[in-house]
Chain A
Amino acid sequence: MVSRTSFSGPLDPAPDAGWVDAPPHVGFFTDTSICIGCKACEVACKEWNGVPDDRFGLLGMSYDNTGSLNANAWRHVAFIEQPAAPEGSDGGFRWLMSSDVCKHCTHAGCLDVCPTGALFRTEFGTVVVQADVCNGCGYCIPACPYGVIDQRKGDGRVWKCTLCYDRLRGGLEPACAKACPTDSIQFGPLEQLRARAADRVEALHASGVAGARLYGADEHDGVGGDGAFFLLLDDPQIYGLPPDPVVPTKHLGKMWRAAAVAAATMLVGTLASFLGKRR
């Protein structure tokens, strides 16, 4: 199988990957302005997907004892305590909560670089690892601009959110979205979600929450838009998200070119070394 994935720009990823009659591109809109930090999403994900428990210890990072997305945490609820009162909030203190997940990038670094084809683009436009193919080369891990995909210790393979591929194929919504009591996690066709998200931002702005903004909703961003995008109330890096991620493969052509020139330099340089005396 040769990946046909393009490296940048707006794109319907499933047809691009060769799916014929693909269903609509689906994903998540996570509205962090109504996240109550209950972590039901984290637990539901683990229950449904049989993700192992991880670590038992207080991190001292507010109420976050998960720490990060990793091989054993495919949803991660971040808690940010902000002492100062930014505009539009009351009381001088703010506590942000946000449930992070794999972005299912339109141009997915992890998928692009996977040398075995273990990572693949599903008919729903999502990005999934095939555990029976992955050989644990680990390349996808630094390729992800968001630090999502991760190797499981003792197992050797990499794991991440599958966007509940099995549930999608069974016509069900993903477990985390199903469990979310406030609909902070909304699942559906991306087009609908983007429209809804835009309305929500407008409504929040109108009610004085000036800091509300969408993250990952722009198809023209460095990853061609996230399949899982967010409404944030502050800068992305506050939540542990990269402010302007770019899929590294976006510049792969240039990298190959640089490498080709370097290779030519090596060839010429080495051969040139043979010009001249032998001793």
Chain B
Amino acid sequence: MVEAKNRGATVIHVDPRFTRTSALADLHVPLRAGSDIAFLGGIINHVLSNDLAFLDYVVAFTNAATLVSDEFRDTEDLDGLFSGFDPQTRSYDTRTWQYAGMEQTPEETRGSSEQAREHAAGHEFGGHGAPLGGEVPPSDPTLQHPRCVYQILKRHFARYTPEVVEQVCGVPRELFARVCDAWTRNSGHDRTTALVYSVGWTQHTTGVQTIRAGAILQLLLGNMGRPGGGVMALRGHASIQGSTDIPTLYDLLPGYLPMPHAATHPGLPEYVDSLTGSRTKGFWANARAYTVSLLKAYFGDAARPDNDFCFDHLPRISGDHGTYQQVLSMIDGRIKGYFLLGQNPAVGSAHGKAQRLGMANLDWLVVRDLTLIESATFWKDGPEVATGEISPETCRTEVFFLPAASHVEKEGTFTQTQRLLQWREKAVDPPGEATSDLWFFYHLGRRLKEKLAASADPRDTPVADLTWDYPTHGRHAEPDAHAVLKEINGYDVTSGRLLSTFTQMRGDGTTSGGCWIYTGVYADGVNQAARRTPAGEQGPTALEWGWAWPANRRILYNRASADPAGRPWSERKAYVWWDETRGEWTGADIPDVEKTKPPSYRPPADATGPAGLSGADPFIMQSDGKGWLYAPHGLLDGPLPTHYEPAESPVRNPLYTQQANPVRQVYPRVENPANPSPPEGGSDVFPYVFTTSRLTEHHTAGGMSRYVPYLAELQPELFIEVSPALARERGLAHLEWAHLVTARAAVEARVVVTDRLAPLRVEGGWCTRSASRTTGATEA
């Protein structure tokens, strides 16, 4: 942020609280928590009603011109619901949301959003949404047709006037106007604006749609795929991006391939077909190559064409196996054992009490961590021991604590938010018996394989078939992390040569690769992630610092930085462009388009895969190559974002009868009560909104900071920040104690009264706000 300011950027910070970020920003815009869609909707409306969109870009690169089914009905027509809602299942039939003429596309895998919500949370189609059929939907490049996406957008967002923004968000009109003005004026041919978000958005029940709203705005203003633009998720843990790429999520395989589902993916052909459709365009068309290469990496020689490359060895998901469902299953005694690595749910996860009760009802629990965290000791010192809900004598869970090596005590990569892989060297040996997680899983697997070596039970064959042959070194027989990265990169099975790009992957078993999007990280046998060419010795895109997936590309969809004819939109914002004389794409980055595909290329009617996309289409992972202002597929709660109140909001939705996101996932259980929200009765029992936020001095649940004296002394206690107005209202005094009570729990915290929390005026009264937390306290 300071770097950006030094280069002349204007930084606007939108946050209910005045934070350390606000302190450095040019403008701080406080808004009511959970009202961002209304805020962004207001800006979108400002853009659309004042004709401020970057029309050349929008028409050419987005689906603005595409016509949508005439059966589609908007929330504006249905008082907060889109067409296709089934109140019985609280889910949408998405048929009417489709492009015109595609309503009938038979997609039995798609089904209703209920099924999707209950088992795959939108990841069913990998990271890209569902494929479209082969046809090209009708469109109106003049953007005048009433059913074109642009006009639908215009109607949908017309409601979000500055007055409504003020009413819903508490942002005064003139302040809002400054934001609109700054954003639009800094977008266009010559300028771009970046949008950065993190958990202030993602942790809401409306999080995905808020991000969608941001993406719509950025597309309308031509800020995608261009330098200085984009929608940036500032991701959390050091390699949290890496743990989605090579996922720790139950419903994904590496490279955003979905985890096969018991019902819909009986075998490899069905699985691949569900990803590619019959005539899919774009790079997902090669899903078979990615899947088969992954299976080769898992099962090596055992993966053969005649056994579908051991596809059946993969586990199948059968429902919601997400973390919250699992906790409930633990409480119900349906889960017996739990490996806990690098997470401290007793402190950090929502509804900590349920987490602890769940973990207290296991046969065994393995915790690998740097210190003896609360998730390993809850059975003897958790709050439930004091209340008698957990008794150390009778708690049935056997806890195994294993000391883990920290990131400085082992080598490997971090993948950060920009998809950049950076190799870390090991700085020091781990203390005592601490070992790396790689060591743990490798030797666990090795021992399991040994134990099962003699087994003839077919259910043990997946383990037997696993390739498990990493070279080891050192005192603890540490597996070689380079070997793992090479396996992920992929290689030609016959020659053993490392692949340099995923386009070399084949679906016939001749290539192996652990994560297709990472292919190239070991190109030419060189650990590209370990490159550290200093900034001064290379160009502004720093292509020789680490390695970004895919293909070391620093800005995704960067073909959009050139106009449809392949010329930069402006000199100032030139990034990649078509070099007519050499007949190829060139520029400061790796072009995100086939290098020699001319801008003038138009696909033949029956072309599929990458060849099915025109030379003017930048969004090559989308099946139509367009940026989706309107999302006919892939989202379960609507093709467009619209303002709902967050779950448990004490405020009545000022826009619709529909209070909250109608299809949001809920876990209605006695262990999991929710604060009532209007129009529900009793909603005045919990009249205050409190949000949590990080303190720089601590890290998440605090296992790495609360136990470090130098950090703990900097923020030694849990505290709650309240505005002077709220303090007066509740009789709270600076540095005294307050009780925070929710339907689920109560905690005590020291009170800090501060002007950084300012009351906002929203419809029907003042909104005094409070916020809290230090030392990784969660919503207990």
A and B directly contacting (CB within 8 A) = yes
A: residues with CB less than 8 A from B are 34, 36-39, 42-43, 46-47, 53-58, 60, 62-63, 65-66, 81, 83, 90-91, 93-97, 182-183
| A56 and B26 form a contact (CB under 8 A) | no
Q: Which residues of B contact A42 (CB under 8 A)?
A: 710, 714
With A43-B711, A65-B713 as given contacts, are A36 and B24 in contact (CB-CB < 8 Å)?
Answer: yes
Q: Which residues of A contact B754 (CB under 8 A)?
A: 62, 81
Q: Which residues of A contact B752 (CB under 8 A)?
A: 58, 60
With A37-B696, A43-B710, A90-B27 as given contacts, are A58 and B750 in contact (CB-CB < 8 Å)?
Answer: yes
Q: Which residues of A contact B719 (CB under 8 A)?
A: 58
Of the listed stretches B15-23, B105-113, B209-217, B298-306, chain A binds B15-23
Q: How far is the CA of A60 from the CA of B1 in the complex (A)?
A: 28
The residue in chain B whose Cβ has the minimal distance to the Cβ of A95 is B23
Q: How far is the CA of A91 from the CA of B28 in the complex (A)?
A: 7
A-B residue pairs, 8 tightest by C-beta: A53-B709, A95-B23, A182-B2, A56-B716, A60-B735, A58-B717, A83-B755, A34-B2
| B710 and A53 form a contact (CB under 8 A) | yes
Q: How far is the CA of A63 from the CA of B758 in the complex (A)?
A: 17
A69 to chain B, nearest CB (A): 15
| B697 and A39 form a contact (CB under 8 A) | yes
Q: Is B734 an interface residue (CB 8 A)?
A: yes
Q: How far is the CA of A42 from the CA of B719 in the complex (A)?
A: 22
Interface residue tally on B, bucketed by range: 20 to 34
Cross-chain contact of A65 among B21, B24, B714, B734 (Cβ < 8 A): B714
| B696 and A56 form a contact (CB under 8 A) | no
Q: Is B712 an interface residue (CB 8 A)?
A: yes
How many residue pairs at the A-B interface have CB separations less than 8 Å?
82
With A39-B697, A53-B709, A81-B756 as given contacts, are A91 and B27 in contact (CB-CB < 8 Å)?
Answer: yes
Q: Is B715 an interface residue (CB 8 A)?
A: yes
A91 to chain B, nearest CB (A): 5
Q: Which residues of A contact B20 (CB under 8 A)?
A: 36-38, 63, 95, 97
A204 to chain B, nearest CB (A): 11
Most chain A CB atoms below 10 A, which of B18, B713, B734, B754: B713
Q: Which residues of A contact B26 (CB under 8 A)?
A: 90
B1-31 contact mask (Cβ, 8 Å, vs A): 1 or 0 = 1100100000000000010111110111000
Cross-chain contact of A46 among B710, B717, B758 (Cβ < 8 A): B710
Q: Which residues of B contact A38 (CB under 8 A)?
A: 20, 696
A93 to chain B, nearest CB (A): 6
| A56 and B712 form a contact (CB under 8 A) | yes
Q: How far is the CA of A213 from the CA of B573 in the complex (A)?
A: 36
Kindly identify, within residues 742 to 761 of chain B, every residue whose CB is under 8 Å from any CB belonging to chain A: 750, 752, 754-756, 758
Q: How far is the CA of A37 from the CA of B21 in the complex (A)?
A: 9
B178 to chain A, nearest CB (A): 9
| A58 and B735 form a contact (CB under 8 A) | yes
The residue in chain A whose Cβ has the minimal distance to the Cβ of B178 is A90
B107 to chain A, nearest CB (A): 48
B223-234 contact mask (Cβ, 8 Å, vs A): 1 or 0 = 000000000000
| A93 and B713 form a contact (CB under 8 A) | no
Cross-chain contact of B714 among A43, A47, A95 (Cβ < 8 A): A43
Most chain B CB atoms below 10 A, which of A34, A54, A93: A93
Q: Which residues of B contact A43 (CB under 8 A)?
A: 710-711, 714
Q: Which residues of B contact A90 (CB under 8 A)?
A: 26-28
| A95 and B756 form a contact (CB under 8 A) | yes
The residue in chain B whose Cβ has the minimal distance to the Cβ of A64 is B714
| Chain A interface main SS type | loop
Most chain B CB atoms below 10 A, which of A39, A83, A91, A182: A91
A2 to chain B, nearest CB (A): 40
A189 to chain B, nearest CB (A): 20
**27 pairs across A/B with beta carbons < 8 Å?**
A34-B24, A36-B20, A36-B21, A36-B696, A38-B20, A38-B696, A39-B697, A43-B714, A53-B710, A53-B713, A56-B713, A58-B717, A58-B752, A63-B20, A63-B695, A63-B715, A65-B714, A65-B716, A66-B713, A81-B754, A91-B27, A95-B18, A95-B22, A95-B23, A95-B756, A97-B23, A182-B2
| A93 and B717 form a contact (CB under 8 A) | no
Q: Which residues of B contact A56 (CB under 8 A)?
A: 709, 712-713, 716
B408 to chain A, nearest CB (A): 13
Q: How far is the CA of A9 from the CA of B230 in the complex (A)?
A: 54
The residue in chain B whose Cβ has the minimal distance to the Cβ of A82 is B755
The residue in chain B whose Cβ has the minimal distance to the Cβ of A72 is B713
A96 to chain B, nearest CB (A): 8
Q: How far is the CA of A81 from the CA of B19 in the complex (A)?
A: 11
Q: How far is the CA of A58 from the CA of B21 in the complex (A)?
A: 22
Cross-chain contact of B2 among A36, A37, A62, A93 (Cβ < 8 A): A36
Starting from the known contacts A37-B20, A42-B714, 13 additional A-B residue pairs (CB-CB under 8 Å) come to A53-B710, A54-B713, A55-B713, A56-B712, A57-B716, A58-B716, A58-B719, A60-B735, A63-B695, A91-B27, A93-B28, A97-B20, A183-B2
B694 to chain A, nearest CB (A): 12
The residue in chain B whose Cβ has the minimal distance to the Cβ of A37 is B20
Q: How far is the CA of A93 from the CA of B13 in the complex (A)?
A: 13
B552 to chain A, nearest CB (A): 26
Q: Which residues of A contact B22 (CB under 8 A)?
A: 91, 95
B176 to chain A, nearest CB (A): 14
The residue in chain B whose Cβ has the minimal distance to the Cβ of A181 is B2
Q: Which residues of A contact B709 (CB under 8 A)?
A: 53, 56
| A39 and B714 form a contact (CB under 8 A) | yes
A178 to chain B, nearest CB (A): 15
| B24 and A66 form a contact (CB under 8 A) | no
Q: How far is the CA of A93 from the CA of B759 in the complex (A)?
A: 13
Cross-chain contact of A39 among B23, B696, B758 (Cβ < 8 A): B696
A45 to chain B, nearest CB (A): 9
Q: How far is the CA of A65 from the CA of B714 in the complex (A)?
A: 5
Q: How far is the CA of A81 from the CA of B28 in the complex (A)?
A: 15
Q: How far is the CA of A63 from the CA of B735 in the complex (A)?
A: 13
A77 to chain B, nearest CB (A): 9
Q: Which residues of B contact A97 (CB under 8 A)?
A: 20, 23
With A37-B20, A43-B710, A58-B719 as given contacts, are A93 and B758 in contact (CB-CB < 8 Å)?
Answer: yes
The residue in chain A whose Cβ has the minimal distance to the Cβ of B13 is A91
Q: How far is the CA of A136 from the CA of B709 in the complex (A)?
A: 27
Q: How far is the CA of A39 from the CA of B697 in the complex (A)?
A: 7
Kindly identify, within residues 716 to 741 of chain B, every residue whose CB is under 8 Å from any CB belonging to chain A: 716-717, 719, 734-735
Q: Which residues of A contact B696 (CB under 8 A)?
A: 36-39
B684-724 contact mask (Cβ, 8 Å, vs A): 1 or 0 = 00000000000111000000000001111111110100000
B610 to chain A, nearest CB (A): 41
Q: How far is the CA of A14 from the CA of B15 in the complex (A)?
A: 50
Q: How far is the CA of A182 from the CA of B1 in the complex (A)?
A: 9
The residue in chain B whose Cβ has the minimal distance to the Cβ of A39 is B714
B307-325 contact mask (Cβ, 8 Å, vs A): 1 or 0 = 0000000000000000000
Q: How far is the CA of A38 from the CA of B714 in the complex (A)?
A: 10
Q: How far is the CA of A104 from the CA of B247 in the complex (A)?
A: 52
Q: Which residues of B contact A46 (CB under 8 A)?
A: 710
Q: Which residues of A contact B21 (CB under 8 A)?
A: 36
B136 to chain A, nearest CB (A): 48
The residue in chain A whose Cβ has the minimal distance to the Cβ of B175 is A91
Q: Which residues of A contact B715 (CB under 8 A)?
A: 63, 65
Q: How far is the CA of A54 from the CA of B711 in the complex (A)?
A: 11
Q: Which residues of A contact B2 (CB under 8 A)?
A: 34, 36, 182-183
B315 to chain A, nearest CB (A): 42
| A37 and B711 form a contact (CB under 8 A) | no
Q: Which residues of B contact A66 (CB under 8 A)?
A: 713-714
Q: How far is the CA of A223 from the CA of B15 in the complex (A)?
A: 43
Q: Which residues of B contact A95 (CB under 8 A)?
A: 18, 20, 22-23, 756
Q: How far is the CA of A93 from the CA of B23 in the complex (A)?
A: 9
Q: How far is the CA of A55 from the CA of B754 in the complex (A)?
A: 23
Cross-chain contact of B755 among A58, A81, A96 (Cβ < 8 A): A81
Q: Which residues of A contact B750 (CB under 8 A)?
A: 58
Q: How far is the CA of A65 from the CA of B715 in the complex (A)?
A: 7
Q: How far is the CA of A91 from the CA of B719 in the complex (A)?
A: 25
The residue in chain B whose Cβ has the minimal distance to the Cβ of A92 is B758
B715 to chain A, nearest CB (A): 6
